[in-house]
Every structure is written in structure tokens, then in C-alpha cells.
């Protein structure tokens, strides 16, 4: 005859204290995610786990509920490399941006042909003959609906750190990296390029006839004019970012380029409501170049 579930091999009931039995009655195992989270919050309130641990566990649950569309960088803020342009034109820009991986396109932003890792560009400075095509890595495309936890597993399994997100029509909708997912779990991951608060408002990138600077969009326009020797209208705005928005009539996005007078601008960092950092290059007007040549 089989033993009673509450008896051991001797036929006697296993010893359970009164507290054990009471705990089983008043504190059953959690039957849902919300009950489990309540238990974790209670554990935090009793200082069994700290706030950072609780936040990370909640982040894991959150990732399971998110899709690629919820975490991706939107298309308007993706910085791409157009490999139809000469390398010398875009290499200084991508180095200044601080990113390590870039989608490579051929003219059309939807014509993504691969991914370029900046570390692979080191050979460009060493080899006399450099084949850009040889360093372009395959690109991964995923649908907007792909679950973030599944994508994280794929990133780890395939040793891939970036994917392009496409909409239902096959057009590029955004870009997502393994860091975007991990930040949902552990919080913001900052590096030397994120520490904007410690950087000066303007930094020289290059000198010479066509000097360039990395500039905070919040820099006072009068200070910018003084530092660069320009004469932008200080009556129209207080800051460089405000002046640009007034001149363009809209807010540019990360990666946008445009010219104002003899200045060439590249937006290094921006969000939906504000410009943050720009690269500004002062270019000699064609008329001045002609005068220099004739002289």
C-alpha cells in the first residue's frame, strides 16, 4: 500500500513545527507575477534586499513585457555611414560621435548594406591600400514586435550587439542595441561620452584654415561668437541651439547636417525636445578662396 503523502518511510508523519504550518496557511507561494512583486517589495521594506536589487528584478520583469519598438532609437536619430562618400569625409564625424558601431548605407537610408565597427577602421591608418567592403559586417533585421527578452537572448547567443528594426512595410523604423535592453534592467549605462556635465561648452576639434569645434547647444551665442570669431545675430536668440532652431524653423535630429553662412553644422546629440551637442566647422567662402589663390 502506498505511503500517505504526509508520512515518511517509517509510517510516521514528518515533524513540522507549528510555525511552519501557520506560515503555509497565511503565506502561500505566489501564484502570479504581481504577488511575487509584492513579496519582493515587502522584502525590501524589511531590508532583506536593497533598492538596487529590487529595481533590477523589476527591470527583468519589465523587459519580458517590452518589444523592440519600445526600446529602439527612432530612425530620425540614427547616425549612418554613407559608404558612397569618401572615407575622409565621414571618418572624423563618426570618431567625434563616440559610437562604436554604425549602419552602412549606400545613398538611400533604407539601403543598409551592413555594419561598420570603428575598431575595424584602424587598418585604414596602417595599410596603404584599404578595402572598405572587406570590413563591413552582416546586418541583422528584426520586426518591431520582437520581444526584448528574446532579442537579448539572440544577442548573447550570436555575439551580436546591434539590430535594425523594420516596420510592416520593410522600411527602417529604428535601431536597437544590447545596451538599450540592459539599461532597462540595470539602469543607465554611462561612458566617457555620456559625461556631458563635465565637458566644457566648446572644445577645439581641429585648427587651420577650416577650424572645427565641438559645442554645447546651450552655449551663449555671444560666447560662441567670441570663441570662434563669427558674428551670428545675437538679437535673435540667447543660445546657439536657439539660434539654430530659429534659422531652420524646426529642431534638427542627431546626425543632421546643414550650413548657416560660412558654418557647417553636424548634430552630435539631440532628442525630441532639445539640441545638446554639435560639431561646427568654419569653412572659407568660395569667393575668399578665389581671392587667396589669385593673391
Give the residue range(s) of CATH 3.30.465.10 domains in the chain: 202-288
Q: Which three cell numbers stand for residue 276?
A: 545638446
Q: What share of the chain is helix, strand, coil (3-state, %, to 5)?
A: 40, 25, 35
Give the model confidence (pLDDT) of 247-268 as tens digits.
998 888 877 889 998 899 988 8
| Fold classification of 69-186 (topology level) | CBS-domain (3.10.580)
Give the residue range(s) of CATH 3.10.580.10 domains in the chain: 69-186
Provide CATH code, domain 202-288. 3.30.465.10
Query: Beta partners for 147?
Result: 67
Give the model confidence (pLDDT) of 70-87 as tens digits.
888 888 778 889 999 988
**Do 235 and 222 contact (CB within 8 A), yes or no?**
no
Q: What is the mean pLDDT of each run of 10 residues along the chain (295 residues)?
A: 48 54 53 76 79 76 85 85 89 78 89 90 79 91 93 89 91 90 72 50 75 88 91 89 91 85 86 81 63 46
Residue 245: how many CB atoms within 10 A of its CB?
A: 17
| DSSP three-state, residue 243 | helix
Amino acid at each position: 500500500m502506498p505511503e500517505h503523502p504526509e508520512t515518511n518511510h517509517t509510517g510516521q508523519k514528518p515533524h513540522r513545527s507549528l510555525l511552519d504550518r501557520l506560515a503555509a496557511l497565511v503565506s502561500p507561494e505566489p501564484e502570479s507575477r504581481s504577488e511575487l512583486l509584492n513579496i519582493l517589495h515587502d522584502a525590501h521594506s524589511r531590508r532583506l534586499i536593497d533598492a538596487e536589487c529590487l529595481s533590477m528584478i523589476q527591470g527583468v520583469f519589465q523587459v519580458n513585457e517590452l518589444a523592440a519598438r519600445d526600446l529602439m532609437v527612432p530612425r530620425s536619430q540614427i547616425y549612418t555611414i554613407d559608404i558612397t562618400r569618401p572615407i575622409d569625409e565621414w571618418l572624423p564625424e563618426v570618431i567625434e560621435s563616440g559610437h562604436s558601431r554604425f549602419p552602412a548605407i549606400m545613398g538611400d537610408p533604407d539601403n543598409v548594406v551592413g555594419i561598420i565597427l570603428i575598431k575595424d577602421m584602424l587598418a585604414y591608418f596602417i595599410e596603404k591600400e584599404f578595402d572598405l567592403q572587406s570590413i563591413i559586417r552582416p546586418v541583422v533585421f528584426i520586426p518591431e514586435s520582437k520581444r526584448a527578452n528574446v532579442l537579448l537572448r539572440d544577442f548573447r547567443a550570436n555575439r551580436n550587439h546591434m539590430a535594425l528594426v523594420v516596420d510592416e512595410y520593410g522600411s527602417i523604423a529604428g535601431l536597437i542595441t544590447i545596451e538599450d535592453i540592459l539599461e532597462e534592467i540595470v539602469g543607465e549605462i554611462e561612458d566617457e561620452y555620456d559625461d556631458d556635465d563635465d565637458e566644457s561648452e566648446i572644445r577645439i576639434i581641429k585648427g587651420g584654415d577650416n577650424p572645427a569645434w565641438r559645442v554645447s547647444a546651450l552655449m551663449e551665442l555671444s560666447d560662441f561668437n567670441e570663441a570662434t570669431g563669427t558674428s551670428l545675430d545675437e538679437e535673435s536668440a540667447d543660445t546657439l541651439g536657439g539660434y539654430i532652431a530659429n534659422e531652420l524653423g524646426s529642431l534638427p535630429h542627431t546626425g543632421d547636417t546643414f550650413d548657416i553662412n560660412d558654418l557647417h553644422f553636424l548634430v552630435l546629440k539631440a532628442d525630441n525636445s532639445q539640441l545638446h551637442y554639435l560639431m561646427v566647422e568654419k569653412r572659407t567662402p568660395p569667393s575668399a578662396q578665389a581671392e587667396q589663390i589669385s593673391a
